[in-house]
Amino acid sequence: MSLSHKQISIRINPSISFRFLISDNYTISFDTYTSVYKFDELERIVKRNFNYWKSISEDDSNTFFILWKDLNDKINSVRDYFSNAETLEINEVNSHLCSTLTSSREEREPGKTVYIISLESPIDEDKEFCKIKDFVSFYVSQYKENLVLAVSTYIDICNNPYKVGTHLPNSTPYSYFPALYYMWQIFSNIADDFSDFESNKITPLSNRLHEIECDANKQYEDITILAEKKHNEIQKLFDDKVHELNEFQNAIETWNDDKEKKINDLEETYKNKLKLEAPEQLWRDRAEEHKKSATYWSVGLILTSVALIIASSRFIIVLHDYSLGNLKEAPFISRSFILVSVISFFIYVVRVLIKIVLSNHHLATEYRQKAALTRFYQSLTYAGTDIDKDERLIIMNALFSRVDTGLVKVDGSNDNDALLALLSKNIK
């Protein structure tokens, strides 16, 4: 978006000013040093003078028109640069003015630069410019050649009245016409008629008022555009903040839902821990007991096996010696029968002991698995895993099902089935 005239003025006016450098040959009452202008004022002055000299003549012989046209083009170029610039950095502005408008400048105060525009032409900021205008109107009505020389001669006579006698005998029109016009103004007692007053006083004043009105309308338009732009920026900022607040509120709600879910999972975990803490501890204790029992029975198995081997060997020897004398009285009992009976008894005892050891190992493993499954189930509930009724029933069945010792065969139905049926009714 291009910058408005008001924005440009606010940024460059505090640091940059302009003044004209015009020789005395083209001014009657104009102080070139004290007459300092801001860029907006410079733009209006250049446009007024350009339009005036354009109304007089657009020929190449009208040097004043050529000078003001060139300066007006430069001012328009600078205005375009200001309007299209994204940022008006003072260093960049100074560099552009030096390359486009004029390189002559001075610093009267720190940080304030005055650019000097050299110009060989009258300017309407001259307090006596109305005299120059009257003479130009008179001269172009009588003679159209050498306008620049005629104007400079008239201004020289106005500044130095004693030179009027020097120019009167001159045969060139651009020399004696200014002298005659000046003498006519001095010796004539005829007051300016109303048309001259209107053209010299009313019309310039009306033009000035029109320029002020146009400038005021332009500034009002710029202020309106600026206000609308700021309103849109504020509205956009407000909408962004509302969007951020909505996102923040959604994040808070999401966080709240997540924390509530975690709290519910913790409550569920705590409830399950209360429900399964005693069974889990019981299973761990029973696993430890059966582990110790398996160890004891293993040691007993080894000792018993050694004792049986020793006892059996001696018993067989004693029985063999005894049977040598008695078998004659009982011929139906053979030596092999006695030996097989002793070995069978030994094997039976060892087998029973092995079953007891394996049963204890089996029970210890089963109870450890139940304790681990209980802990795993609690971990699932803590992690928030959704476990439905059927899955919980399967887990409960695995936890509370009867453990087979492996010593005695039992029927598949037992009292635990009634307990599982009762638990299934209370599972939500």
Give the pLDDT confidence of 114-172 residue by residue, as tens digits. 999 999 999 999 988 988 998 998 888 888 888 889 999 999 999 988 888 888 888 88
pLDDT at 318: 65
pLDDT at 46: 94
Identify the weakest region by mean pLDDT among 148-152, 238-242, 383-387: 383-387
Nearest to 135 by CA among 182, 195, 183: 182
- Three-state secondary structure string covering 220-283: HHHHHHHHHHHHHHHHHHHHHHHHHHHHHHHHHHHHHHHHHHHHHHHHHHHHHHHHHHHHHHHH
- Flag whether pLDDT at 380 surpasses 90: no
Residues 78/96, Cβ–Cβ less than 8 Å: yes
Cα torsion at 18, 21, 26, 30 (round to 10°)? 60
Most confident of 6-15, 64-73, 255-264, 318-327: 64-73
pLDDT at 61: 83
pLDDT at 65: 92
Write down the H helix ranges in 121-202. 129-142, 147-159, 164-167, 173-187, 194-197
Nearest to 423 by CA among 397, 385, 386: 397
pLDDT bracket for residue 364 (50, 70, 90):
confident
**DSSP-derived pairing of the beta strands 16-21 and 36-37:** antiparallel
Which H or E element spans position 117? strand 112-118
pLDDT at 321: 61
Place of tokens 């309103």: 231
pLDDT at 326: 53
Sheet holding 105-109, edge to edge: 36-37, 16-21, 112-118, 105-109
pLDDT at 352: 82
Domain borders along the chain are 1-126, 269-426
Residues 170/176, Cβ–Cβ less than 8 Å: yes
d(CA 200, CA 51): 16
* pLDDT tens digits for range 286-303: 778 878 887 888 888 788
Identify the weakest region by mean pLDDT among 284-293, 317-326, 393-402: 317-326
Tell me what the mean pLDDT of segment 201-221 comes to: 69
pLDDT at 282: 73
pLDDT at 349: 81
Average pLDDT of the chain is 78
Nearest to 106 by CA among 98, 114, 97: 114
pLDDT at 144: 80
Identify the weakest region by mean pLDDT among 64-78, 269-283, 346-360, 407-421: 407-421
* pLDDT tens digits for range 23-75: 888 999 999 999 999 998 999 999 999 999 999 888 888 899 999 999 999 99
Residues in contact with 425: Cβ distance below 8 Å, sequence separation at least 6, in sequence order: none
What phi, psi does 230 have (nearest 5°)? -65, -40
